[in-house]
Amino acid sequence: MTLHVLETDGQVCPFPLVEAKEAMSGLDLGDELTINFDCTQATTAIPRWAAEQGYPVTHFDRAGDAQWTITVRKA
């Protein structure tokens, strides 16, 4: 398992999700992607997309006033 980090701070929705989808497509099964973002809409869009794809969310945390981090495993 390898952990990859995607920084999307400052990007408006839907770009954090678009970039997460692109990044996940290049990962191997079992790899994890940590997405750092500050777009409020992505707090629901990214977990919903992960669930639809069957990707477990292994970590989801508010990292600041308007900043979040979520880790998704490719399954």
Catalytic residue, chosen from 4, 9, 11, 13, is: 13
The single-letter DSSP state of residue 27 is S
Identify the pLDDT of residue 66: 93
Active site residue 39: no
3-state secondary structure of 49: helix
> Domain 3-73: what homologous superfamily?
TusA-like domain (3.30.110.40)
Identify the pLDDT of residue 40: 94
Identify the pLDDT of residue 43: 97
Tokens 């069957």 belong to 54
Question: What pLDDT digit, counting tens, does each position of 9-66 carry?
Answer: 999 999 999 999 999 999 999 999 999 999 999 999 999 999 999 999 999 999 999 9
